[in-house]
Amino acid sequence: MRTVASIIIEMLRDAGMDRVFGVSGESYLAFLDELEKCQSIDVTLVKVNTSLSTILPSQRS
């Protein structure tokens, strides 16, 4: 069965997205669970959103 999460991930993959950063949380666990199944998108999760400010600059091409 297709879910909203799987449809969104399919759209991200079709748009060429290969990396996702986010803050882990219970409000979108279904999306994160579905994202973990996707082999073509790398996922980086942090516990505190300020941690993203140290990760993102180092990921720029």
> What pLDDT score does 49 carry?
63
Burial bucket for residue 4 (CB in 10 Å: 0-12, 13-18, 19+): exposed
Token pair of 60 as six digits: 């720029």
Full-prediction pTM beyond 0.75? no
pLDDT (0 to 100) of residue 46: 80
Closest CA to 18 of 45, 44, 42: 42
Q: What is the mean pLDDT of residues 14-34?
A: 87
